[in-house]
Structures are given as C-alpha cells and as structure tokens.
Amino acid sequence: MISVTYHDDLKEVQADAPLAALLSAPSARSPFDRLEWWQGLTTICDLFPLIAVIHHGNERGVMPLLRKARQVHCLTNWYNFRVSPLFSAGADQAAMLAELASDLPGQTPHLVLSPLPDENGETTALAKALRQAGWVTFVEQCDVNHILPVQGRTYAEYLAGRPGQVRTTLKRKASKVEIRIETAFNPDSWAAYETIYAQSWKGEEGSPAFLRRFAEQEGKAGRLRLGLALADGEPVAAQFWTVEHGTAFIHKLAHTEASKPLSPGTTLTAALFEQVIDRDHVDLVDFGTGNDPYKRDWMEQLRPRYRIEAFRPRWPGTWPAIARKALRRLVPSRAHG
C-alpha cells in the first residue's frame, strides 16, 4: 500500500530513518537534495515547508513543497539550480508519483512547480501523473542550465577548446593576479567574498546568512572550493564552487568593478576549472540557471528547466487562470497558422 504524509516540521522528516538516509550523503547527489539545504531555507529564509513524503513499505519518495496562500510551490529559493522528486533506490516511482498526484488536491487546487529538470524524465513523469489524476496541467520552459561534460579531458585539452578571446585574455592577464583556492571555510576569506560581491556588478545578495551557512557546511564536509584573486595583496574577485559525486557546482562569482581591466574573473574561473578537472577529476561542471552570455565561453551544453502549473478544474476559483493559460497557448499557434 502506498500512502502520502505532509510535514511542516523537518524534525519529523529526520525521525523517519529511510527518509533521513535518502536525504543525506552519500544518497543525496547534490546540495539541493539534502535535508540541510531545506533546513536553511526554513530557518534562515523563513520559508514554511510542506514536505510531501510518499511511503511504500521501506521505500520513500519525497517532494519539498511550500504553501503560498492557496497555492503550493516547490521549496526553493534563488540559490537552487533545480528541484525534483527524490526516491529510494529501486522504488516504483510511477506508482508513487500517481499516489502523490491523487493526494495533493487535499492540500491545494493550484500547483506551481519549478525549476524542474527532465534529464531523467522527472518533469515528464510528474506532469503525466498529474494529468492522469485529473489536474489541468501546463508545462513550459522557465530557464536554462549551462553545463560542461568533461568527457575525460585534461584541463589543458579543455582550455584549448575555449574561445580565442578567453585564451588570449588568460595569456595577457593571468600573471597580474594571485590565485588562492581554499577547501576549508575561512571566515576572513568569506568576508572578502562578501566585500567583493558588494563592489561588483551583481545585484543585492538574496540571503547572505543562508549562503554563509551553506559554505560553512560544505567546508566541513570537504566539498568547498572557494577561489580568490588578489591584486597587490587585495582580494578583487571571488568564486564559490562545491564538488561532490563527480560534479562541480558553480554557485556564485563576482569581481570588483575597479578591477575589471585586470580580468581577474577570467583568471580565477580558469584556475577553478583546472582544480576541478585535473585534481578533483569531476565528470560534469554545472553553472546553474540563467542564460548569462559569459557562461557560453566556459560551458558547452544547455539543459532546459521547466515549470509545471497544474489546476483542479472542480475548483471554480481556478477557472480564470486555466482560461488565461489556455488562451496564451492558442494565440501563438493561430499567429503561425
């Protein structure tokens, strides 16, 4: 028998041994799949969780959700590269998703789920389960994810394939800055990162406290790769990467506007690529979401990220939204008809 329970207290999630094992290393394959990430979202970012747990004997499935008025969204913030249902190895995922889709109407008439991957059919399977359970379901691309499959290359081989402008910049500017890469959390280095970020072209940081806590956790676990570029002894560029299970995740990067003529960001990025390719021996580098032009210089492939919006048609309050979504789909097709 398959059943679904919902939890707004993460201590209840920890008390379920099979679920706790699923949401901790080494089972969790990325930062966004770990219980610690969700704890940071709830305690520091003040998000109120609704963790959907699917039980099937000793197997578990889980979807991190949260309430927003009458809607239910994914439990995410601006630092998430993605979110998706998670399952114990060997679980009957289709049956468990079907049960979740059938049970969710008791929680909300309106689901908004993003950013979802589909490399392993996650979005496709979830949308299918929702439609079969009677939800009016719309799927659209909401973002992109830049990645680099290393494919056994050395750093030198990878660099040889970068655009000529990048390689020329490195030849001309690399000697102008000193590079440090740290694998343990250093409060002074983190303070330098925050100072650099404040003097960069970047917008205001979403939640500095959340990011610092995450960096501290990754440092303790040996997954942190914090890079600093210094000019005349002063930090002018910083990047926050993590490495686990053969993947390097690029979380944050910034350089001061005043240091732009030195191209410290380019030199620091190259140094971190050398670190994760030649020393950490990763198989994949993940540059997160967003289609920033500079990512194309370093990455080679794009993966789409999706949003599922699903409505219960028996709830009259959803009818205007369903109509608007359907109309937006019809207008482009008529324009090209």
Taking CA atoms, 84 is separated from 25, 93, 234, 258, 278, in Å, by 17, 12, 41, 40, 30
d(CA 243, CA 245): 7
Exposure letters 19-50 (e unless 16+ CB within 10 A, then b): beebbeeeebebbbbbbbbbbbbbebbebebb
Task: Provide CB contacts within 8 A for 91, sequence distance 6+.
Answer: 56, 59, 60, 61
Please confirm whether the linkage preceding 320 is cis (ω < 30° from 0): no
Pairing of strands 59-68, 234-244: unpaired
Residue 140 pairs with which residues in a beta bridge?
307
Q: Which amino acid is at 171?
A: K
Q: Residue 173 has what pLDDT? A: 97
Task: Provide CB contacts within 8 A for 335, sequence distance 6+.
Answer: none
- Reported pTM: 0.94
Give φ, ψ of 231 to 5 degrees.
-120, 120
Q: Is 183 exposed, middle or buried (0-12, 13-18, 19+ CB in 10 A)?
A: middle
Q: Where are the domains of the chain?
A: 2-143+304-335, 151-282
Please confirm whether the linkage preceding 26 is cis (ω < 30° from 0): yes
Q: Residue 203 has what pLDDT? A: 79
Give, for all 337 residues of the chain, the pLDDT tens digit.
999 999 999 999 999 999 999 999 788 889 999 999 999 999 999 999 999 999 999 999 999 999 999 999 999 999 999 999 999 999 999 999 999 999 999 999 999 999 999 999 999 999 999 999 999 999 999 999 999 999 999 999 999 999 999 999 999 999 999 999 999 999 999 999 999 999 998 878 889 999 999 999 999 999 999 999 999 999 999 999 999 999 999 999 999 999 999 999 999 999 999 999 999 999 999 999 999 999 999 999 999 999 999 999 998 999 999 999 998 888 754 433 3
CATH topology of domain 151-282: Aminopeptidase (3.40.630)
Task: Provide CB contacts within 8 A for 164, sequence distance 6+.
Answer: none
Q: Do the domains 151-282 and 2-143+304-335 match in fold?
A: yes
Q: Residue 109 has what pLDDT? A: 97
Residue 248 pairs with which residues in a beta bridge?
243, 285
- Closest to 145 measured CA to CA, from 282, 289, 13: 289
Q: What is the CATH number of domain 2-143+304-335?
A: 3.40.630
Q: Residue 332 has what pLDDT? A: 58
* 8 Å CB contact between 224 and 185: yes
d(CA 54, CA 86): 10
d(CA 71, CA 51): 14
Determine what percent of the chain falls in helix, strand and coil, rounding each to the nearest 5.
Answer: 40, 30, 30
Q: Residue 205 has what pLDDT? A: 84
Q: Residue 337 has what pLDDT? A: 39
